[in-house]
Structure 1
C-alpha cells in the first residue's frame, strides 16, 4: 500500500465502534482554516500601501482592485464545489480534504510571491484561483460527510461544520494582524512573510482534519434511530439524483434564496474592516478586532439557527432570517450618521446580520437534504454553491464600486454606504419571496420511487 493510498475512500470507512462525534473535530479543523477567507479584509488596506508604506501612492493598488481577490476566491469556491461534487462522492472526503489543504496553502505561497514582486495577477491566481479551488473542496467534503453521520439531526450536523467556517476569521484576523506587526519594517509592511506563515499553519491544521475524518459504513445508522418511511410536510423520505435535482424548481428557488442572502452578507464581510474605519475613524487594529467579533456572530449564527431549524423547519427558519435581514440592512447605514454616531449599535446590528448570513449557509444543506434526500447530497450541494460564486462577485463589486462612485460624487465617507446597504435589503426581499414559493419535490424526480433505507 502506497503512502497516498491512505487517502482512498475504502481506507476512510469507519470500523465498528467508531464514534460519530469524532467527525465534527475533523470538519472544524478544515472549516476553521478555510474560513480565514472571511478575514481577508484585514489585508485590504496594507495591500493598498505596499509601495507607499505609510499611505497609498500612485503606483499602489486600489481597494476595488484588491476586492477582486476575495471575489475570485469565493467565485472559484462555488464553481469548484459544483465541478468536484460528484468526484467527492466517488473518492471520499479524506482525499478531498487533503487536496484542499495543499491547494489552500499553495494559494498563500503564490500570493506571497505576488506581494513581494508587486504583481497583482499572482494574487488573483494564488489566493483567488488556486486557493479558491482549495476552498471549494474543503467546504463541501465535511458538510456532506456530517449529513451522512447525523441523519437524525441534519441541522445540527451542518451547523457544527459550517460554524467553523464562520469562525475562521476569529483565528485568521488576529493572526494576520499580529504577524504583519511582527514582520513590519520601515520598508516592508510584512504582508508577504505573513502569508507564508499562515499557509504553513493552515496546511498542517487541515491535514489533521483529513486524516481524522471517516465515512459511515453503508449499513450504519444512529443507535436507536429508525429512518422515516413516509414523507412529512417539507421533509421527503425519498432520494433525488443530482441530474434530476438540478432540473427541479425547488433547486433553483433555493439557489436564489442562497444567492440573495449571500450577496447581502458577503459585501459586508469583504469590506468590514475598511467600512468601520470609514464610518467611525477607528484604528486598523481595532477594526481587526471588529472583524473578529463579526466572526463570532457568524459562527454562532451558523450553529444556533441551523439547530433551531430542526424544530421550526427550514422554510420557516429562512422566513425569519430574511425578514430580519431586510430590517437590519435598512437601518445599518444610519448608525454612522452624525446625529446617531453609535459604534455600539453598528457592531450589534452588523453582528446580528452576520449571524443570519452564516445561518443561511448552515441551514441550506439540511434544506437540500429535506428536499432531495442524503444519497447524493454532496453533488447537489456542490451545484447549489454556484449561487455563492455569483454572490461572491456581485456583493463585493456592489459595495466597492458603489462606494467609490459615491465618494467621486462628493458624498462623505459616513454616508457612502447608504445606497448599497439599501440595495442589499431589496435583495433579501427577493430571497424571501423565493423561499415562500418552495414546495415538496414532485414524485417524478425520485430515484426509482424508493424511500430512504429501502433502496
Structure 2
C-alpha cells in the first residue's frame, strides 16, 4: 500500500548533507504532546462533579478522588509496559511508524475517554485514557530516543535532554489549555463540566500536533557519523564500541543495576511531586508561621508550578552536563546531593526556613527530571546504539514500579506519623529520611556499574536499526 509505505523506515533515511538539528524538534513535538499526562490532575475535580455540577458538594453517584486517581496510575503503568513490549518492534519498523501509532493511541484514548464521560462509565475512561492512551504514552516516549542517539553520538545527553524535557514541559501547556477549554465548554452548556468536549478537542489537537513529528523525523544512513567526531576520552571507560541486543541486555548485571538506579531516584522524586501542595501547606501553616503568614493554597500551587519548571529544566541541564562529566558521575551527584537534601529538608521544615526548603525541593526535582533524560545516554554508553530504544523501553518498567511504590510509601508513612499525633513538618519527617535511605541504595547500585562484558555483544556487523536496509 502506498500510504503504508510512507511510514516505513526505508522512506525516512536522510540523504547526504541533512541537518541533524532538525531531528530534536520532531522528537519534541511528540514529547510535548504526551507530556499532557502530568497535567491530568486538572480534570480530577471536574470529573468528580459530573452529576452534582459542584466539586465542593459531590453527589452520591459522583466518582471519588480515589477512583479517579486510578486513571493516572493505569496510564503510567501502561507507559512502562508498552515501552518494554513494543521496544523491539519500534527498532524494526523505525520511528515514523512508531510515532504514528503513538499519535493514534494517545489521541484515540481521549476520544474513548470522552465517550466514558458522556455515558458516565468510569471503566470506559479507564480503558480510554488509561489503557489506550497509556500505550500511546509508552510508544511515544521511546520512539525518538534511539534515533536521537544515532544522530548525536557526540552529544547524546544534549539530544535526549532536548526531547525528554518536552515530557516535563508538556503539562505547562496542557494545564492552562485544559482549564480554558473546560471553562469555555461549560459556559456554552456542552455537557457536564465541559469535560467530554474538552477530551474530544484535546484528542484532535494532539493527534494533529504529533503529525509534525511523524512526518519530519529522519534516521541517518547506517554508515553516517558526525563530521570530526571523536569519542570523549575523559569518561570513555564505560562507553562500548560493541552492540548488545535488548534480549542480551537483560542478562547483564549492568541493566538491573540501572533498573535499581532509576527505580530509587524516581520513587523518591515522585514522593515529593505527588504530595507537593499539601506538604508545603502543612509544613508552613498559619499555626506554625503565625496567622496570615502560612503558605496558602494559591502559594502552594505556585510551588507546584515551580517544581514543574525545575523538572523541565533539570532534564536538559543535567543530561547536557553528563556529556562532559560522564553518566556514572552525573548519577553519583543525583544520589550524593539528593541524600543530603532529603535528610536536610525535615530540619528546614522544623526551623521554618521556607526559602531554603523550596530551594532544596527544586534541586531535588531537577535531578528527578535529569534521571529520565540521562538514562538513554547511559544505556547507549553501556550497550551501544543497536537496540537502545528497546533496552530503554524495558528500563522504563522501573518508572511504572516507582509510580505505584512512591505514593504508597509517602502516604503510608505520613498517615502513620499523623496517627502518632505528629503534625506539620514533623508528620513528613520519616518520609524524607526513608527516601534518603532509598537513594543510598541507588548510589551503591550506580557505583557498582562497570563496562559490559564483551561476551554479550552481537557477533559480526549489525544494522543501526534492525530490519533496516
TM-score by length of 2: 0.87
CA 330–46 in structure 1, closer or farther in 2 if over 3 Å, else same? farther
Distance 1:315 1:178 in 2: 43
Matched, 1:324 2:337: yes
Verify the 8 A CA contact 1:272 1:291 in the aligned structure 2: yes
Match of 1:19 in 2: 19
1:78 is displaced (CA, Å) by 0.9
Match of 2:399 in 1: 388
Verify the 8 A CA contact 1:63 1:400 in the aligned structure 2: no
Verify the 8 A CA contact 2:46 2:55 in the aligned structure 1: no
Distance 1:45 1:422 in 2: 32
Verify the 8 A CA contact 2:45 2:55 in the aligned structure 1: no
Matched, 1:222 2:222: no
What whole-Å deviation, never above 9, does each CA across 1:39-88 have from its counterpart, x for those lacking one? Answer: 22333344444444142535444433332222221111111111111101
Verify the 8 A CA contact 2:235 2:326 in the aligned structure 1: no
Distance 2:344 2:63 in 1: 32
Verify the 8 A CA contact 1:238 1:447 in the aligned structure 2: yes
1:285 is displaced (CA, Å) by 6.4
Match of 1:79 in 2: 81
Name the count of aligned residue pairs.
Answer: 451
Match of 2:467 in 1: none
What whole-Å deviation, never above 9, does each CA across 1:379-438 have from its counterpart, x for those lacking one? Answer: 111111111111122123334455566667766576554443433222212111111111
CA 427–41 in structure 1, closer or farther in 2 if over 3 Å, else same? farther
Tell me the secondary structure at the aligned position of residue 138 of structure 1: helix
For 1:40-439, what aligned pairs fall within 5 Å after superposition?
40-52=40-52, 53-57=54-58, 58-184=60-186, 188-226=192-230, 232-273=236-277, 275=279, 289-332=302-345, 340=352, 342=354, 344-400=355-411, 402-403=413-414, 412=423, 416-439=427-450
Distance 1:182 1:9 in 2: 42
1:367 is displaced (CA, Å) by 0.8
Moved more, 80-89 or 392-401: 392-401
Verify the 8 A CA contact 1:111 1:195 in the aligned structure 2: yes
| Consecutive unaligned residues in structure 1, runs of 5 or more | none
Distance 2:121 2:275 in 1: 22
Distance 1:425 1:418 in 2: 11
| Consecutive unaligned residues in structure 2, runs of 5 or more | 286-293, 465-469
Distance 2:136 2:228 in 1: 37
Distance 2:427 2:195 in 1: 28
CA 4–443 in structure 1, closer or farther in 2 if over 3 Å, else same? closer
1:124 is displaced (CA, Å) by 2.1
1:267 is displaced (CA, Å) by 3.4
CA 215–451 in structure 1, closer or farther in 2 if over 3 Å, else same? closer
1:30 is displaced (CA, Å) by 0.5
Match of 1:6 in 2: 6
Distance 1:370 1:284 in 2: 44
Distance 2:458 2:100 in 1: 32
Moved more, 405-414 or 261-270: 405-414
1:443 is displaced (CA, Å) by 2.1
1:451 is displaced (CA, Å) by 11
Distance 1:308 1:128 in 2: 35
Verify the 8 A CA contact 1:229 1:452 in the aligned structure 2: no
CA 435–300 in structure 1, closer or farther in 2 if over 3 Å, else same? same
Moved more, 303-312 or 439-448: 439-448
